[in-house]
Structure 1
Amino acid sequence: MNNEMLRAPAEVKYAEELDWLESVDDGPKPFSWRLSPKMVRLFILGSERSDGLDREIPQKWFGDRSFVERSIVTLASDRGLLLIGDPGTGKSWLAELLSAAICRNSTLVVQGTAGTTEDHIKYSWNVSMVIAKGQSRESMIPSPIMTAMERGMIGRFEELTRSTSDVQDALISILSEKYVSIPELDTDNTVFARPGFSIIATANSRDRGVNDLSSALKRRFNFVRIPVVTNRTSEAEIVRFRTTELLRRHRIELDVPPTLLDVLLQSFADLRAAAASAASEDEKLESALSTAEQIGVLEDAILHSHFFGDRALRAETLGGALVGSLARRSPEDLAILNKYWHGVVEPRSRKDGGEWTGFLEGGRQAISTLS
């Protein structure tokens, strides 16, 4: 079944591991949770020798332990959880892992957009059934959030600040009252949340001002701010973890030389430093330069090498992939990357040589092609 999915949700991908953790878990569990809070943390952050388990549990989310613990504690209460941070900081991945560990279902998701309506978080109707038999619970289509309420599970709301104020207001009553009224029905017209129900929402800190949350909605959430990963070692671990998954998913056998990974990490560090010291927004790349975007650059280079190269990842390919991925505005982004290539990559290539030489040439060629 896993092989038939383009991307398996966490509860399917790690089903065997979750089954095993559940079988050895003797800790107290809130509500209808499948795992105890300690086991949820262990599933997400990985096991240590001191845990005394008979098998190793790999780390799946790389971040501060306190963020995970605060998130778990929030979900064990009657408050919603809001994960907020820059793009690419792993908010959605953490939300998915939490849902998979707690209720073995991370797919009850509403995607917040300007087109999201109140129906998307409450219910809608099967028009043909309504015409044939009238409005009833059978002809009602529950939203993922309502389904989570009925089953006592975790509902997820992605990009909350991108949804309009009326949608956000509808969420207030769900978080406060823990039920949804269905005024169209005379009987059986209230859906009550079962114990274990909660909502994990995510918000992009760069969307501030798009549709700001009301103070009433903010009070219904505990905020956990996920910072950008700046630790070089942690970022390297994330990129390696995601790259290994990528190669496995695409069934590609290709080595990623550690020296090339160092070039990628250093390049992003350089570009972030340049963005931090920029005098105006025009002097910054449109890209957030997140860890997720690093992984995207590496994925592009790996797939290009596999299908069009000699099935070996080379510095030239990586340089071209980085320019191609980050040059979103023309001519602004191209000018910034061109300045970086001449002012930083070229001197580093002369001084250090190695992979930087090929990286220089690959980037130069990409900039020339796009200009």
Structure 2
Amino acid sequence: MTQEQSVNLLRAPAEVKYAEELDYLESIDTGAKPFTWRLSPRMVRMFVLGSERADGIDREIPQKWFGDRSFVERAIVTLASDRGLLLIGDPGTGKSWLAELLSAAICRNSTLVVQGTAGTTEDHIKYSWNVAMVIARGQSRDSLIPSPIMAAMEQGVVGRFEELTRSTSDVQDALISILSEKYVSIPELDDDNIVFAKPGFSIIATANSRDRGVNDLSSALKRRFNFVRIPVVTNKKSEAEIVRFRTVELLKRHQIELDVPPTLLDILLQSFADLRTAAASATSDDEKLESALSTAEQIGVLEDAILHSQFFGDAQLKAHTLAGSLVGSLARRSPEDLAILNKYWHGVVEPRSKADGGEWPEFLAGGREAIATLS
């Protein structure tokens, strides 16, 4: 798929979206490449974290994932050792985005994905059958439908498993043999009944730390993975960079010309920081917002406010609209979440609007109005 064709996609995968960058990195890459990797580990890291002046390359490679360098390096080393990689953390910490970027850089294919749910079966990670072909010609390799994981094994590339802990123990057990033996047996066939993994095959799985207790991983499966824990971003500077990066992408995708005033971005970041502090000091779940208050949710609030301003406002992002989007996005339980937000608006936003002025008074009014509407 060309970048011109990707314009017609709602969301292009990373290997399509950044094809030009990946082509460039391949052209200058002189490092050793494990297995069938398209880029060396150093170039994979550069693609994910961006280039630095010391790299001495002819063009700038922008940073795409914002987090500690050691997390990315450990993830790359794990995949170079052909062990499974498990990215674990709270919702919205960028686990899936990091998995996609790593897959795109390593094998130029991030779309071999299994989504873990309560309805995921062994067929989703092994194979199924084309019933019409089986009836017409019988069971054969031609009538077999490989799962994304089996396709990754056959091609020697990276397969992805999203939300591993949401799948049942039977599915997790089936994954153990794939990670251990590196092959899948097809007992229905007499000949050509084993699919062996080619060099370069590995699995990147993600798990939500808030799902602990849903379908805990067995000790046997844990031993097949190297764990990389992705923490919630709490550094204001890093969080601001993430939100700006995603906002630029959002505006391009929607073909919107709209400035996000730095003062409003500061208000958004400060509000989430305040609400996280309140959640950390809460003594019960009823005193916490149901939202994880992740960076991804901040981006969602900002996206909602931008689109509302574009379609129903005067194409200018204002504090009143931002406040309404924040309340509307975070008030998921009624009356619990509304009570928490109301307490925050009266106890924190109101004093801050009096002390700091600026955009805070309008933010205060917009939040009060939204809370009153939802109550």
Alignment of 1:95 onto 2:70: no
Describe the SS at the equivalent of 2:51. coil
Tell me, in whole angstroms, the C-alpha distance in 2 between the residues paired with 1:276 and 1:80: 33
Matched, 1:75 2:79: yes
Q: Deviations over 1:224-254 (max 9, x none)?
A: 0000001010000000000000000000000
The answer on 1:237 being equivalent to 2:248 is no
Which residue of 269, 289, 292 maps to 2:296? 292
Q: CA deviation at 1:353?
A: 1.0
In structure 1, give the amino acid aligned to 2:219.
Answer: S
In the alignment, does 2:179 pair up with 1:175?
A: yes
Matches of residues 268-279 of structure 1 in structure 2 within 5 Å?
A: 268-279=272-283
**Post-superposition offset of 1:148:** 0.1
**1:193 and 2:162 aligned:** no
Which residue identity is paired with 1:301?
Answer: A
Question: Residue by residue, what CA displacement relative to the aligned partner does 1:84-134 show, whole Å, maximum 9, x if unpaired?
Answer: 000000000000000000000000000000000000000000000000000
Q: What is the TM-score with the length of structure 2 in the denominator?
A: 0.99
Equivalent residue of 1:4, what SS? coil
| Residue type of the alignment partner of 1:309 | G
Q: Partner amino acid for 1:89?
A: T
Paired with 1:237 and 1:359, the residues of 2 have a C-alpha distance of 22
Q: Which amino acid aligns with 2:121?
A: T
Q: What residue identity is the alignment partner of 2:157?
A: M
Question: Letter of the aligned partner of 1:83 in structure 2?
Answer: L
Deviation at 1:366, TM superposition (A): 0.5
2:321 maps to which residue? 317
TM-score (norm. length: structure 1)? 1.00
Distance 1:329 1:263 in 2: 24
Counterpart Cα distance in 1 of 2:195 and 2:332: 46
Measure the CA separation in 1 of the matches of 2:292 and 2:124. 29
Matches of 1:111 and 1:355, distance apart in 2: 42
**Structure 2: segments with no counterpart, 5+ residues:** none
Which of residues 342, 347, 351 is equivalent to 1:343?
347
C-alpha distance in structure 1 between counterparts of 2:72 and 2:284, whole Å: 35
Amino acid in structure 1 at the alignment position of 2:203: I
1:178 offset after TM fit, Å?
0.1
Find the partner of 1:130 among 117, 134, 149. Answer: 134
CA distance in 2, matches of 1:250, 1:168: 39
Runs of 4+ aligned residues of structure 1 deviating over 4 Å after TM superposition are none
CA distance in 2, matches of 1:50, 1:361: 48
% identity of equivalent residues: 87
- The one-letter code of the counterpart of 1:315 is A
The count of corresponding residues between Structure 1 and Structure 2 is 371
The match for 2:169 is: 165
Distance 1:47 1:211 in 2: 39
Secondary structure of 2:192's aligned partner: coil
Distance in 2, matches of 1:128 and 1:145, equals 23
The gaps in structure 1 that reach 5 residues or longer are none
Q: How does 1:23-172 map to 2 (within 5 A)?
A: 23-172=27-176
Partners of 2:283 and 2:177 lie apart in 1 by: 44
